[in-house]
Amino acid sequence: MPHYAYETDPAEIYRQSFSIVRQEADLSHLPEMLRPVAVRLIHSCGMTDLPQDLVWSKDVVSAAQAAFSKGAPVFCDVEMVAHGIIKNRLPEASKVVCTLNDPSVPDLATKLNTTRSAAAVELWRDQLDGAIAAIGNAPTALFHLLEMVAAGGPKPAVVLGFPVGFVGAAESKDALAENPFGIPFLAIKGRRGGSAMAAAAVNALAAGLPEEA
């Protein structure tokens, strides 16, 4: 059997990983409070150029921390985002919710003439006010969330916009960045994104970095 030389200490893996990120990524243009979030995001995808494409509202970190201090729920567009969130690092009252597989969603999507991901956002209404929304897959979910707010619906405390893909992803994040509703946000411009990034953003905003614990 071959023997490979590799690090096996989880704490040391984290330490080295975050050290490499800080060495190779340019975080200088980011506000100090946002840098741990950027480090987490880079760690989730291995792309050290990621900070150059980040867009944010100046109050996103403070808004997220205030929401978590109140036990706000975290709504996720897909199960992959929900499963990537480190739940034991969230405040006890903060629940992670994904409604994509609710039995009512397929019929609702047909009724609304939209995707299941967008229809699932409709089921967030009752608890969306002051909540955190983490979208890591579906541009239609992010567009529909913004449409709900525009129509007078409840406003989340923070939207983390990381939908990925070639159809609507960049445009949905542009719409979030330009939102006139005063919603604090963090997003990455362009086609890049994904569930791992959305979950990483939640983890960083809720609990910082492992080395800081």
- Residue of 3, 29, 43, 144 marked active site: 43
What's the rounded Cα separation, in Å, for the pair 77 and 169? 14
Residue 43 is among the residues annotated as catalytic for this protein: yes
Q: Give the phi and the psi of residue 74 in degrees, each rounded to 5.
A: -115, 115
Q: Phi-psi category of 71—alpha, beta or left, where left has phi over 0 and alpha has psi -120 to 50?
A: left
What's the rounded Cα separation, in Å, for the pair 121 and 97? 11
Name the residues annotated as catalytic: 43
